[in-house]
Amino acid sequence: MKERLVLLPGWAMHSGVWGDFATQLSEHFTLTLIDQLPSFEHLDAVADSIVALLDDEPFYLLGWSLGGNAALNIAQRYPSRVKGVILLATNPCFVAKETWAGMPLAMFRAFAQQVHLNAPATLQSFLAVQCQGVDNGEALLNTFKVHFASKDVLPLTDLMQNLALLEKVDLRDTLAHLTCPITAIFSDNDALVPVNIGQAMQELQPNLQLHIVEKAGHIPFMAKTAVCVNIICAFIDGIREN
């Protein structure tokens, strides 16, 4: 019987962007694709609304970027439901703090202002930023744009509310006290999440399995699909064997 794996997309993204990654995962797992992260003022409400979409069967969570923050929150709030968590390019505290690497607050707020003024153009630029430094970057960006255009984007009010959520989210304590198995996949050249966050997360949560993928930007599941699928399969197989 295949394990159930729930996929949570990143900010402004949707289930259509998973592409071949979801196809390959479906060979090993029963997938539930959350189409878009719901928009709420608090992450607890995001978590509750996602879990409300699921049946009572226990599941694994895979969250990309902001979706990873939602996955951590769900694992904290529903420990009996979550069998394990996979984080893709996720920073539990996205905006930098004095002792924690992340996006500088001024840069984050400038980006939010750009979204507010011209969301369509800013989102296209955001796709390009996520592809920075990846192998076959131009071709991959074109594929990314096609996948992104396959579904409607959230309304501007929802995009802004989820940005406000991302600005204030700090799940370092949640990560430190997580009881389920957890693995994290980072890229060595992610323009949005510093790679050294992985080691900092491991110091908070020694049981975290850390994987660094080369030249995968902010989209390791697209840039290094087979590598990520193999990591995920090995992680879940290891849990099943114990």
Amino acid 222 reads: M
* Residue 205 CB partners (closer than 8 Å, separation 6+): 175, 176, 178, 182
Catalytic residue among 15, 39, 65, 187: 65
Distance CA 162, CA 204 (A): 25
Question: Any catalytic annotation for residue 190?
Answer: yes
Distance CA 76, CA 199 (A): 21
By the 8 A CB rule, do 15 and 170 touch? no
Catalytic residue among 14, 147, 211, 218: 218
By the 8 A CB rule, do 62 and 228 touch? no
Give the N- to C-terminal CA distance of the chain in Å, as an integer: 17
Catalytic residue among 15, 39, 147, 190: 190
Residues 153-189 as b or e (16 or more Cβ within 10 Å = b): bbeeebbbbbbebbeebebbebbeebebbbbbbbbeb
- Residue count of the chain, please give it: 242
Question: Any catalytic annotation for residue 188?
Answer: no
> At 226, which helix (H) or strand (E)?
helix 225-241
CA distances, 204 to each of 102, 138, 178 (Å) = 16, 37, 10
Q: Which residues are catalytic?
A: 65, 190, 218
